[in-house]
Amino acid sequence: MLWTESINADLSPKFHIRKAKIEHYLDRAAELFMQARYQPALEALRSLFKIRHNHHGALSLQSQIQAELRALKSSQVRSASSDGHRTIKRSELVLMVDQDERVLTSLSGELRRYGFRVIGAANFTEATELLKEFRPDVILSEVNFEDGPVGFDLYLWIRNNAVLASVPFFFLATRVTREMIIAGKRMGVEEFVLKPLDTEVVIASILKSLAQRKAARL
């Protein structure tokens, strides 16, 4: 093929469609990684690899995700460098469940900044699949999902699981009614946190709950 023919081939609609698909899957995988939704991120990368198996950026992101998953399965307290400072990494794992990806992104970033390990889910099914593999120290969940089972269903599923029954559970809600609070407290919900979230309040609530449970074990 002549050089000019090669250029024309690269400028073909097929080439641009392929390039756009690769960029879409890579951007989507990166978004999911920031939300701590690691398995969906890997699925997005698998779709990308069907188009281009040796994409350098995708391979690098895949390695990051796999390293994060390995770290999640370790409860060892680690130290890491952040902006030139040594930050103590906590051993506690927080599961976040929310259909709003913006909430997952901002909350996971703040939790990571405080040293927590994090995993994220967008719905009931995604959360229960994670809970078959991981035992979080704290669970934060939206009250209502647009599709499928709601937050109270997730809460009851967890409370009926002997391994998870004692895990502190916080509801995230845009509106909290008196009836909702009464029902939640009777079932053992730790706290209701109003949206839009004040992440400092969320962190303080988590730390308070963990401290209380630690003191109760002493």
Token readout for 160 is 């009926």
Long-range contacts of 191-200 (CB under 8 A, 24+ apart): 192/143, 193/140, 195/103, 197/103, 197/106, 197/107, 197/172, 199/106, 199/107, 199/110
Highest mean pLDDT among 68-77, 112-121, 192-201: 112-121
Q: pLDDT at residue 77 above 60?
A: no
**HSE of 113, CA atoms in CB hemisphere, 13 A:** 10
Highest mean pLDDT among 70-79, 135-144, 178-187: 135-144
Distance CA 49, CA 58 (A): 8
Confidence at residue 148, expressed as pLDDT on a 0 to 100 scale: 63
* Mean pLDDT, range 170-176, rounded to an integer: 87
Number of other residues whose CB lies within 10 A of the CB of residue 215: 8
Q: pLDDT at residue 88 above 60?
A: no
Q: Is residue 160 packed enough to be buried (19+ CB in 10 Å), middle (13-18) or exposed (0-12)?
A: exposed
Q: pLDDT at residue 4 above 50?
A: no
CATH code, 82-217: 3.40.50.2300
125-154 pLDDT, tens digit per residue, is 999 999 999 999 999 999 877 766 678 899
Percentage with pLDDT > 90 across the chain: 59
Neighbouring-strand partners of residue 169: 139
* 79 confidence band (pLDDT: 50, 70, 90): very low
Which of 100, 56, 93 lies closest to 195 in space, CA to CA? 100
Distance CA 40, CA 162 (A): 27
Q: Which of residues 51 and 216 earns the better pLDDT score? A: 51
Confidence at residue 99, expressed as pLDDT on a 0 to 100 scale: 93
pTM, entire model: 0.83
Q: Which of residues 176 and 46 earns the better pLDDT score? A: 46
Domain ranges of the chain: 3-72, 82-217
